[in-house]
């Protein structure tokens, strides 16, 4: 007997797979809505922790889904959530790759791509907003978020340095 | 295999090479690995030319799903069919998946310590800042096309403030945006 929560994980993240236009960074508001607001699998604070853990690991940014799955149902939950997010879109991609050349230069394809660009931007900034609401509880935490955003915009410092400095600040009680 | 780019492919890339090539990509980057996929595919192994990479990347970003996952599927399929796709995808995901679960387990084990919770919260705040910076960088080129900023703003308000389900937001916004893009096409 498969535990119902595993089936629900597969269903929720399987549907998200098809909604992930513009990558996983653009998907965070919807993931939050589903796992915190609707299913109530984890709290807002746990969502922020899952995000932090996923950013501290190397690899694609879809790992936040693995951590959420792990919090919900351990290793199996992580596996189901990760596969569910990847598999449907992968099958679609596999199918479309074969016919892509016919549409490569179609004007409608170019129009769709230009149409999705601003939507993706809005979604990524919404991700930032939702994460800030979930992660930043103190003024110092907001300051870290704002300072990181500004410095990442105007300097070419490697992103890991920001995470390392913020971890050190946090460990010593700032933030 | 009915592959659009078959004519320019190198002689042969084995499933094992795909696996290890993408294994390295998976371990290379933090918070997104696309730049490292480009380095491996174009510069280090020369499996793709720059132009081919850009073309395949644009397809990966065009289709739904995690972009680098789509890229691994397309590149794997191109050289070794379905087996190649699986090899590339498993190579990409295997180590990051195990590492992030190890980190999650470590966190659960040591979360009782104030410093560990504080450090995690710090990472969370800074990584949020990085996402905001990414969004703002992506927003820069939008100002050249007059209708794109209002569409981005609508998407932001719908998802961040009103918090409508993403499916509804997309069903409403994508047709409007496609119509605007179509009317203003060159």
Q: Would you say A81 and A66 are in contact if contact means Cβ atoms under 8 Å apart? A: yes
Neighbouring-strand partners of residue B30? A58
Residue B94 has pLDDT above 90, yes or no: yes
Other CB atoms closer than 10 Å to residue B46's CB: what's the count? 10
Mark residue B10 as left, alpha or beta (left: phi above 0; alpha: psi -120 to 50; beta: remaining): beta
Residue B134 has pLDDT above 70, yes or no: yes
Q: Cβ B156–A125 below 8 Å, yes or no?
A: yes
Full domain range(s) for residue B83: 1-110
> How many structural domains are present in chain A?
1
Other CB atoms closer than 10 Å to residue B128's CB: what's the count? 33
**Residue B39 in tokens:** 């380095």
**In chain B, what's the furthest Cα-to-Cα distance?**
59
Is B54 part of the contact surface with chain A (CB cutoff 8 Å)?
A: no
Q: Which of B26, B69, B103 sits opposite A86 (nearest CB)?
A: B69
> How many structural domains are present in chain B?
1
**Residue A169 in tokens:** 């600040």
Helix axis angle for A107-135 and B166-183, nearest 10°, is 140
Residue A173, Cβ density class (10 Å: 0-12 exposed, 13-18 middle, ≥19 buried) = exposed
Would you say residue A171 lies in a domain?
Answer: no
Would you say residue B150 lies in a domain?
Answer: no
Number of A–B residue contacts, CB under 8 Å: 364
**Residue A148 in tokens:** 């990181």
Would you say residue A87 lies in a domain?
Answer: yes
What was the pLDDT predicted at B1?
Answer: 42
Interface mutation target, options B127, B152, B180, chain A, most CBs of A under 10 Å:
B127
Residue A97 CA to residue B179 CA, distance in Å, equals 25
Would you say residue A119 lies in a domain?
Answer: no
Q: Which of A58, A98, A127 sits opposite B96 (nearest CB)?
A: A58
**Residue B111 in tokens:** 């979360």
Would you say residue A14 lies in a domain?
Answer: yes
Q: Cβ B174–A119 below 8 Å, yes or no?
A: yes
- The 10s digit of each residue's pLDDT in A65-112 is 999 999 999 999 999 999 999 999 999 999 988 787 677 778 888 888
ipTM of this complex:
0.93
Would you say residue B100 lies in a domain?
Answer: yes
Would you say residue B177 lies in a domain?
Answer: no
Would you say residue B116 lies in a domain?
Answer: no
Which residues, numbered 16 to 35 in chain A, qualify as contacts with chain B under a Cβ-Cβ cut-off of 8 Å? 17-25, 27-30, 33
Would you say residue B13 lies in a domain?
Answer: yes
CA nearest to B97, candidates A9, A8, A77, A18: A77
Q: Which of A52, A124, A153 sits opposite B120 (nearest CB)?
A: A52
Residue B31 CA to residue A127 CA, distance in Å, equals 14
Which residues, numbered 123 to 182 in chain B, qualify as contacts with chain A under a Cβ-Cβ cut-off of 8 Å? 123-139, 141-142, 145, 148-149, 151-161, 163, 165-167, 170, 173-174, 177-178, 180-182
Q: Would you say B49 and B42 are in contact if contact means Cβ atoms under 8 Å apart? A: yes
Would you say residue B26 lies in a domain?
Answer: yes
Residue A148 CA to residue A155 CA, distance in Å, equals 10
Q: Which of B118, B132, B149 sits opposite A170 (nearest CB)?
A: B118
- The 10s digit of each residue's pLDDT in A7-33 is 999 999 999 999 998 889 899 999 999
Would you say residue A127 lies in a domain?
Answer: no
Confidence of residue B7 (pLDDT cuts 50, 70, 90): very low
Helix (H, G, I), strand (E, B) or coil at B49: coil
Other CB atoms closer than 10 Å to residue B113's CB: what's the count? 11
Residue A89 CA to residue B64 CA, distance in Å, equals 6
Chain A CB contacts of B62 under 8 Å are 109, 112-113, 116
Would you say residue A148 lies in a domain?
Answer: no
Would you say residue A167 lies in a domain?
Answer: no
Q: Would you say A12 and A39 are in contact if contact means Cβ atoms under 8 Å apart? A: yes
- The 10s digit of each residue's pLDDT in B45-90 is 999 999 889 888 888 988 899 999 999 999 999 999 999 999 999 9
Confidence of residue B186 (pLDDT cuts 50, 70, 90): low
- The 10s digit of each residue's pLDDT in A112-152 is 888 999 999 999 999 999 999 999 989 999 999 999 999 99
Residue A131 CA to residue A44 CA, distance in Å, equals 9
Residue B93, Cβ density class (10 Å: 0-12 exposed, 13-18 middle, ≥19 buried) = buried
Residue A117 CA to residue A62 CA, distance in Å, equals 20
**Residue A71 in tokens:** 């919090």
The percentage of chain A sitting over the pLDDT mark of 70, rounded to a whole number, equals 99
Would you say residue B180 lies in a domain?
Answer: no
Is A86 part of the contact surface with chain B (CB cutoff 8 Å)?
A: yes
Full domain range(s) for residue A97: 4-101
Would you say residue A76 lies in a domain?
Answer: yes
Is B88 part of the contact surface with chain A (CB cutoff 8 Å)?
A: no
Interface mutation target, options A61, A81, A153, chain B, most CBs of B under 10 Å:
A61
Give residues with Cβ within 8 angstroms of B19, minimum separation 6.
B87, B88, B90, B91
């Amino acid at each position: 007997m498969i535990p119902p929560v595993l089936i629900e994980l597969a269903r929720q993240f399987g549907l998200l797979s098809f909604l992930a236009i513009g990558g996983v960074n653009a998907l965070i508001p919807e993931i939050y809505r589903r796992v915190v607001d609707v299913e109530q699998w984890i709290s807002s604070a746990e969502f922020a922790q899952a995000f932090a853990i996923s950013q501290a690991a190397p690899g694609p940014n879809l790992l936040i889904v693995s951590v959420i799955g792990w919090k919900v149902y351990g290793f199996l939950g992580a596996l189901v959530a990760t596969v569910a997010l990847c598999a449907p879109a992968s099958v679609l991609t596999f199918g479309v790759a074969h016919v892509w050349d016919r549409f490569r230069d179609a004007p409608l394809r170019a129009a769709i791509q230009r149409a999705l660009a601003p939507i993706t931007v809005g979604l990524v900034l919404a991700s930032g907003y939702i994460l800030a609401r979930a992660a930043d509880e103190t003024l110092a935490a907001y300051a870290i978020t704002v300072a990181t955003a500004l410095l990442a915009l105007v300097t070419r410092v490697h992103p890991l340095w920001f995470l390392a400095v913020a971890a050190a600040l946090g460990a010593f009680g700032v933030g | 295999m009915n592959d659009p780019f078959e004519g320019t492919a190198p002689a042969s890339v084995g499933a094992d090479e795909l696996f290890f090539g993408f294994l390295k990509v998976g371990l290379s980057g933090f918070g997104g690995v696309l730049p490292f996929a480009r380095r491996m595919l174009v510069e280090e192994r020369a499996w793709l030319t720059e132009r081919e990479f850009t073309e395949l990347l644009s397809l990966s970003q065009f289709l739904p799903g995690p972009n680098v996952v789509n890229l691994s599927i397309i590149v794997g399929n191109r050289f070794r069919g379905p087996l190649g796709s699986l090899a590339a995808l498993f190579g990409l995901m295997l180590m990051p998946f195990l590492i992030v679960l190890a980190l999650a387990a470590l966190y659960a084990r040591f979360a009782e310590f104030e410093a560990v919770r504080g450090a995690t919260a710090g990472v969370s705040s800074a990584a949020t800042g990085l996402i905001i910076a990414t969004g703002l960088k992506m927003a820069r080129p939008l100002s050249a096309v007059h209708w794109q900023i209002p569409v981005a703003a609508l998407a932001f308000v719908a998802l961040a403030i009103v918090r409508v389900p993403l499916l509804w937001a997309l069903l409403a916004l994508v047709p409007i945006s496609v119509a605007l893009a179509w009317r203003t096409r060159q």
